[in-house]
Structure 1
Amino acid sequence: MEYLVVKWLHILSSTLLFGTGLGSAFYMFFASLTRDSRVIATVVRYVVIADYAFTTPTVILQPLTGFYLIHLAGFPLTSTWIVVSIALYLLAGACWLPVVWMQIKMRDMAASATTNGTELPQRYWSFLKWWVALGIVAFFSLVVVFYLMVAKPA
């Protein structure tokens, strides 16, 4: 029973991690395309909240439950699929950390533009380009991790 509970937590947290990331990215990207600082300020504020409320806890829970499942199932940590999964998870995390920092800065820029009745600064658009690029890398890294977790190829 313990294995099933931990596996359920692992799958549930991976779903929250992936779904929150994809949903937040969708809304933030398309809100940004409106170029309306009021819309952007509101959406990015909620994206930052979603990262704190959902993404951060699942980022922590994933490796804890994952390593425990590896232990319970008796898989060697040196299995290629596990090593590659860990590397890709770390890559996604390395992309996510600057994305979170940029989102906070972008939220503040949009709020300031709304308050002051000004256009969004060029820095917002530069951040958006990096935010998209890093998000694409993180997304495809996690897609491959999902595959490896399901297939467990030799």
Structure 2
Amino acid sequence: MLYLCLKYLHVIAAIFLFGFGMGSYLYLIAASRSGNPQVIAHVARMVVRFDTWITTPAGIVQVITGYLLMRLSGLSMSTEWLLTSLIIFFCVGALWLPVLVLQKRLQSMALSAGEGSLPLDDRYASTYRWWFWMGVAGFAGMFVIVLMMVTKMTPLQLIGSAVGF
């Protein structure tokens, strides 16, 4: 029963991590495309809050429940799909703090532009591009992690089985 409860928490945390993360990402993209500094500042402030108070704790719950599930199931940390997913998870996590910092910068730049009735400048566009592409990399990693959680195979093993190797 403990295993099933932990697995449930692990899956719910993955849904929160992925769902809130993707939702925040898409909302800030939409706000940025509006070009309206007031809208961007408001949405960026909410995105930073959601990512700080919901998405980040979900990531922590993922690590804790994942570790406990591994221990309860008798898996070794060197199990190929598990080790690969951990490496990707920590790489995605390494993007997380810079993404939060960039979101805060986007909010600050948009707030300044809005207060001064100024258009967004090239610094905003440059920061936005970095944030956008770090998000693409992070979510690509998360898609791969979910694939490994479901199949218990690394991407190379999955491709190998798909092409008959």
| RMSD between superposed Cα atoms in Å | 1.0
What's the counterpart of residue 12 of structure 2?
A: 12
Distance across 2 between alignment mates of 1:2 and 1:16? 21
Distance across 1 between alignment mates of 2:13 and 2:128? 27
What are the within-5 Å matches in structure 2 for residues 61-100 of structure 1?
Answer: 61-100=61-100
Distance across 1 between alignment mates of 2:96 and 2:106? 15
What's the counterpart of residue 45 of structure 2?
A: 45
Structure 1 position 47, deviation (Å): 0.4
What's the counterpart of residue 29 of structure 1?
A: 29
- In the alignment, residue 27 of structure 2 is paired with which amino acid? Y
Distance across 1 between alignment mates of 2:128 and 2:25? 11
What's the counterpart of residue 163 of structure 2?
A: none
- In the alignment, residue 79 of structure 2 is paired with which amino acid? S
Structure 1 position 121, deviation (Å): 2.6
Distance across 1 between alignment mates of 2:79 and 2:99? 30
Distance across 1 between alignment mates of 2:49 and 2:121? 23
Distance across 2 between alignment mates of 1:92 and 1:86? 10
Equivalent pairs, count: 154
TM-score, normalization by structure 1: 0.96
Q: Deviations over 1:109-128 (max 9, x none)?
A: 11111111111232111111
User: Which ranges in structure 1 are unaligned for 5 or more consecutive residues?
Assistant: none
Structure 1 position 10, deviation (Å): 0.6
Distance across 2 between alignment mates of 1:122 and 1:16? 33
Q: Deviations over 1:92-138 (max 9, x none)?
A: 11112111000011111111111111112321111110111111111
User: Which ranges in structure 2 are unaligned for 5 or more consecutive residues?
Assistant: 158-165
Deviates more, 1:104-113 or 1:78-87: 104-113
What's the counterpart of residue 107 of structure 1?
A: 107
Q: Deviations over 1:49-73 (max 9, x none)?
A: 1111211101211111101100011
Q: Percent identity?
A: 38
TM-score, normalization by structure 2: 0.90
Runs (4 or more) in structure 1 with deviation over 4 Å come to none
State which structure, 1 or 2, has the greater radius of gyration over its C-alpha atoms.
2
Structure 1 position 48, deviation (Å): 0.5
